[in-house]
Structure 1
């Protein structure tokens, strides 16, 4: 919820800037806008309790998990349907995260590493006139996150095996802006809130104990870079 509030605040700030205008760029039907830059995924983790064979491990002091942030190369493609509406696909190089334990088994520390890709499709609205240099936008759409390369840290490989994180479908909200430097080149900043939920499962070495933890990641994704219009 707090990340949605952050995103709403950014959208208000973008809207407040709508009085700024210029005469450099023009977004029209058929334009393709490519944006690239540094993209950071910052999870806002809400973890369930770790369970073993269906029962919470040490209910008096349950174990939860946390996930760190990561920055990679972000890339997005927007196709303009007309001067005010566009469809964007967000992509990136794979994000890498470390999973660590909290609570009862906090002593395990950094438990595992995992990679993910979060392709996101959004419908965008550009409220400014097509010829304005400053082009704020908001968007809403759907995200698909796929997890892969799940691997326990070397000091835990003798204790656990078969780590798997379920893929996720969820809502995505977006706000951002382009500022044109020339007819084709500009700078861009954007932020997304993405609903990502997953279930992590793994086993003891003999397979007799099956562990499970449900996690809401719900990250903010920030990207700053350049855009180019074709």
Structure 2
């Protein structure tokens, strides 16, 4: 662990200790007739939340082949199922992990003008979120985090061989809201922007080994159901 990471952990632990001590003091000062109700309310609010969403993956459609002027790549958009898990550290602060997989058809739209192939993509993304709690059942949030995109199952169109796309980290920004129907169930709308650039390579008959850059920068637009334990 880096020194900065250790420093942040110590800060979080110290802040947690302060809030815990404050909570104990507040509980001691609370009138006895109010304490059971407060304890029941806290116990009923689990820190865990899950969502199931339909997710639209809309790519940026940019890329190039090294050494070929005017080359350009495009990637197909998809709609896939997505699952996420959230943990609330406090009423306002939560971490979210999204899990799902998608695919993209790759085509060269510029100088070569041919389909290249297809790849599958597993993009686990972790964000740290701030949830606003002043709007009743309407609960908007914003977040930022990191994405690690794993490309697998590449397949080539005729003439291409050995298509390979590098796994890569990206930055993720997020905004969305839950509308809670009751204590546990709600509906969700979520938008993420992932800034993702990576390298790719392939062999093309009659040309040889090709390398290039792929700039996907996808929008992830999801809608689904929320369940708070």
TM-score, length-scaled by structure 1: 0.77
Higher Rg: 2
Q: Partner residue of 2:167?
A: 167
2:176 counterpart of 1:176: yes
Aligned counterpart for 2:140 among listed residues 136, 139, 149: 136
CA spacing shift, 1:192–1:185, aligned 2, 3 Å = same
- The residue aligned with 1:99 is 106
Correspondence for 1:147 among 145, 151, 165: 151
Question: What is the alpha-carbon root mean square deviation over aligned residues?
Answer: 2.2
Contact 2:46 2:228 in 1 (8 A): no
Separation (CA, whole Å) in 2 of partners of 1:127 and 1:187: 16
Task: Give, in angstroms, the shift of residue 146 of structure 1.
Answer: 0.4
| TM-score relative to the length of structure 2 | 0.77
Q: For this pair of structures, how many residues does the alignment match?
A: 189
Structure ranking higher in helix proportion = 2
Q: CA deviation at 1:29?
A: 7.2
Q: Aligned partners of 2:203 and 2:60: how far apart in 1?
A: 26
Residue in structure 2 matching 1:31, options 47, 55, 73: 47
C-alpha distance in 2, partners of 1:29/1:47? Answer: 47
Give the equivalent residue in structure 2 for 1:82.
90
Gaps (5+ residues) in structure 2?
Answer: 1-41
Q: Which runs of 4+ in 1 moved over 4 A?
A: none
The runs of 5 or more residues in structure 1 that have no matched partner are 1-25
Q: Deviations over 1:91-136 (max 9, x none)?
A: 11x2011001111111x2x32111001100000001224x921110
Higher RCO structure, 1 or 2 (CA under 8 Å, sep 6+): 1
Cα pair distance change 1:182/1:197, threshold 3 Å? same
Please point out which of 114, 124, 131 is paired with 2:129. 124
Once the two structures are superposed, residues 15-39 of structure 1 have per-residue CA deviations (whole angstroms, 9 ceiling, x without a partner) of xxxxxxxxxxx9x975111011101
